[in-house]
């Protein structure tokens, strides 16, 4: 009899929990819809007033003021201009981080919209036009809306939410630190210790109303390389009297391309080696003594990454030696692979399907672009997904890509963005209800 009573009590408890969660989700949908015009207004303000990496002063002030107005505990000056909000729910549970990046790019806008950017800034000592040419203005506005929704149901939340508004995703200026790596270094995932993190990126190549995701390697690791070639200067009319670093560099460029085509397991993991800059010489009839080339490496697997690094040094050094030159190769790891935890992804995809409709959630191919959300994922399980921002009916080939002057986002996807981030939070809390994280993060 006691077992029957106990089973009945458990069933009743489960039913009540399900009913409460369903009621919360109905509230989320209603609240997200009511916030749409406000989120659009915020986004347009940020778009018209963009700020470069580590210079997001006004943006962070507006974010912090909004979070404080919601009664959320606010930390400012994190990783220079970052803002962190901490919302403590009324019930015990896990700590979930939600992230949005805030910085714009040195790009001159060509889009004909009333709120187009006319802003100017300074990039590495040069005056430049500034534009939100990657959608970070949308990310900030969506997360501000998400914060307002979750704050409105604070007493019903089963855990803690950390809102991370991050500067310098596009990379800090020369000589400065910044971005997710610095936020992690300064302890953004501690006190209280984060259990899982979610982030989104709006996509100009995916239709409004859709969501794209991928487990495991989603976006590539980004590394930068420099190769300095030392030859021997000579008159351009007598090349046999010197060692030509330009001819040698030409052979090295071609040799580097064979690393991907002949050494990388391309059916398992894509890779890219690109030489983007070569500098040498001062006039047409002098063979220079030195040459510098710079480029980038993109990989989706750490073993492939290590192999390419080793082979690049071997190829450049040996080709240079065969010409009588000397090659000095340096490689800097800039950003790790954006790696979606497979278990977390599997658990949370049903949430994305519930808010967008199963027919609107797609498994996407890996991208060779990089995203410093990866630094958080090195420390805690994370899920990073793509939110559609292209007008419905537009083909991917008809939309301008990110980081270009014609980049354009349809604001019709913002409600879905808020619903996705909010429901991921609620569902993860429900899955881990009762979990209490040590507030010291130890």
Active site residues: 103, 169
* Torsions phi, psi for 334 (to 5 deg): -95, -45
What distance in Å separates the CA atoms of residue 249 and residue 168, rounded to the nearest whole number?
33
What distance in Å separates the CA atoms of residue 45 and residue 167, rounded to the nearest whole number?
17
Element at 386 (helix H, strand E): strand 382-390
Helix 2-48 × helix 136-151 angle, to 10°: 140
* Torsions phi, psi for 117 (to 5 deg): -80, 135
| Sequence-ordered strand ranges (E) for 232-325 | 234-235, 271-280, 286-287, 290-299
Q: How many CB atoms lie within 10 A of CB 23?
A: 12
What distance in Å separates the CA atoms of residue 186 and residue 164, rounded to the nearest whole number?
13
Element at 143 (helix H, strand E): helix 136-151
């Amino acid at each position: 009899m006691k077992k029957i009573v106990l089973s009945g009590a458990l069933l009743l408890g489960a039913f009540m929990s399900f009913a409460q969660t369903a009621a919360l989700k109905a509230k989320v949908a209603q609240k997200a819809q009511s916030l749409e015009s406000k989120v659009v207004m915020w986004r347009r303000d940020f778009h018209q007033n963009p700020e470069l990496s580590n210079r997001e002063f006004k943006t962070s002030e507006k974010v912090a003021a909004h979070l404080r107005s919601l009664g959320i505990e606010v930390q400012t000056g994190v990783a220079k201009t970052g803002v962190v909000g901490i919302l403590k729910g009324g019930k015990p549970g896990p700590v979930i981080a939600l992230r949005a990046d805030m910085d714009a790019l040195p790009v001159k806008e060509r889009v004909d919209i009333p709120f187009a950017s006319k802003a100017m800034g300074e990039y590495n000592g040069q005056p430049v036009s500034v534009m939100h040419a990657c959608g970070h203005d949308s990310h900030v506005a969506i997360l501000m809306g998400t914060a307002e929704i979750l704050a409105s149901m604070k007493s019903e939340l089963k855990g803690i939410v950390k809102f991370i508004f991050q500067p310098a995703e596009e990379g800090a200026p020369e000589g400065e630190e910044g971005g997710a790596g610095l936020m992690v270094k300064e302890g953004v995932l501690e006190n209280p210790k984060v259990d899982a993190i979610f982030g989104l990126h709006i996509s100009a190549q995916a239709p409004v109303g859709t969501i794209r995701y991928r487990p495991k390697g989603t976006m590539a690791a980004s590394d930068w390389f420099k190769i300095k070639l030392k030859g021997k200067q000579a008159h351009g009319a007598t090349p046999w009297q010197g060692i030509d670093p330009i001819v040698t560099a030409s052979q090295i460029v071609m040799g580097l391309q064979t690393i991907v085509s002949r050494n990388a397991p391309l059916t398992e993991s894509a890779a890219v080696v690109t030489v983007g800059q070569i500098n040498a010489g001062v006039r047409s009839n002098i063979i220079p003594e030195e040459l510098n080339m710079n480029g980038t490496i993109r990989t989706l697997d750490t073993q492939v990454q290590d192999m390419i690094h080793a082979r690049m040094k071997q190829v450049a050094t040996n080709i240079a030696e065969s010409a009588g030159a000397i090659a000095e190769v340096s490689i800097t790891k800039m950003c790790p692979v954006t790696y979606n935890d497979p278990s977390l992804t599997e658990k949370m995809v049903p949430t994305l399907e519930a808010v967008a409709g199963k027919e609107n959630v797609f498994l996407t191919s890996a991208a060779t672009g990089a995203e410093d959300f990866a630094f958080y994922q090195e420390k805690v399980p994370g899920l990073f997904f793509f939110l559609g921002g292209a007008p419905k009916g537009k083909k991917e080939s008809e939309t301008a890509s990110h980081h270009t002057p014609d980049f354009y986002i349809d604001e019709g996807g913002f409600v879905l963005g808020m619903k996705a981030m909010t429901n991921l939070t609620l569902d993860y809390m429900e899955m881990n209800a009762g979990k209490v994280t040590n507030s010291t993060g130890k």
